[in-house]
Amino acid sequence: MVTRSTRTSTHPHKDGINAAIDLFHRRWTMRILWELRSGPVNFRALQTACAEVSSSVLNVRLAELREAGLVDHASGEGYALTRWGEELLGAMEPLVLWAGRWQKARKA
């Protein structure tokens, strides 16, 4: 798998966490992954779920996520998480739980 350089990832021997941070810091990346958590979604539905993202940005982010091996595209089904993408969302479960507690505390 070839990794695409982003504005901040130009070092060819970047360690795993820094490469992941460089991918995830890009606007809409995590939101797109989150919206794919329940299964395949076509482009229009994904754009609707991410209401403010332009089609050009969504295309770029999906290409980056496909290149990174986190998202795949099947004709007729739409975009879906790969095994690596699903593993990532599983690793995010503690963050999801924390976010729920944090939001409740802020409202209290």
Q: How many CA atoms lie within 13 Å of 19's alpha carbon, on the beta-carbon side?
A: 14
Residue 104 pLDDT: 94
pLDDT tens for the 108 residues of the chain, in order? 444 544 444 455 578 889 888 999 999 999 999 999 999 999 999 999 999 899 999 999 999 999 999 999 998 899 999 999 999 999 999 999 999 999 999 998
Global pTM? 0.80
Question: Which segments within 29-97 are labelled E, that is strand?
Answer: 71-74, 78-81
Residue 13 pLDDT: 59
Residue-range domain boundaries for the chain: 16-107
Q: Name the phi and psi angles at 37, rounded to 5.
A: -65, -25
**CATH class belonging to 16-107:** mainly alpha
Residue 43 pLDDT: 96
Contact between residue 53 and residue 45 where contact means Cβ atoms under 8 Å apart: no
